[in-house]
Amino acid sequence: GEDVEQSLFLSVREGDSSVINCTYTDSSSTYLYWYKQEPGAGLQLLTYIFSNMDMKQDQRLTVLLNKKDKHLSLRIADTQTGDSAIYFCAETPYSGGGADGLTFGKGTHLIIQP
């Protein structure tokens, strides 16, 4: 079945850029997502990218997609203490019906050092 892999932890200094990586196995992945989860909170949609795109930028966030290597990354520029959270990569084939569930990675804990 489909699988999504992420590193469990990333530690960065405040003000530096954070790069969170994700690999996936499903060749039919159409939507790829990044969600943020703060302690005790729900899943906040950060950004998403369609598989026909290579890059998407939204303020401090840059998503890069390498379809050949099935690799997705999320770069957070000028990382702040408020960015401390778990970041989940997720994918769905979105085969046209919209009813497909997302397959999530285990999440990357982003730790900010002062």
Partner 1 sequence: EPEVTQTPSHQVTQMGQEVILRCVPISNHLYFYWYRQILGQKVEFLVSFYNNEISEKSEIFDDQFSVERPDGSNFTLKIRSTKLEDSAMYFCASSEGVQFFGPGTRLTVL
Positions in the binding site for partner 1 (CB under 8 A): 31, 33, 35, 41-45, 48, 88, 90, 92, 94, 97-107
The distance of closest approach from Cβ of residue 17 to partner 1 in the complex, given in angstroms and rounded to an integer, is 25
In total, the chain counts a number of residues equal to 114
Is the distance from CB of 103 to CB of 90 less than 8 angstroms?
yes
Diameter over CA atoms, the chain:
46
Other CB atoms within a 10 A radius of the CB of residue 51 amount to: 16
Could you tell me which residues are beta bridge partners of residue 21?
73
DSSP 51-69: TT-SEEEETTEEEEEETTT
> Of 61 and 104, which CB lies nearer to partner 1 in the complex structure?
104
Could you tell me which residues are beta bridge partners of residue 84?
none
> Of 65 and 79, which CB lies nearer to partner 1 in the complex structure?
65
The distance of closest approach from Cβ of residue 106 to partner 1 in the complex, given in angstroms and rounded to an integer, is 5
> Of 37 and 62, which CB lies nearer to partner 1 in the complex structure?
37
The distance of closest approach from Cβ of residue 35 to partner 1 in the complex, given in angstroms and rounded to an integer, is 7
> Of 43 and 61, which CB lies nearer to partner 1 in the complex structure?
43
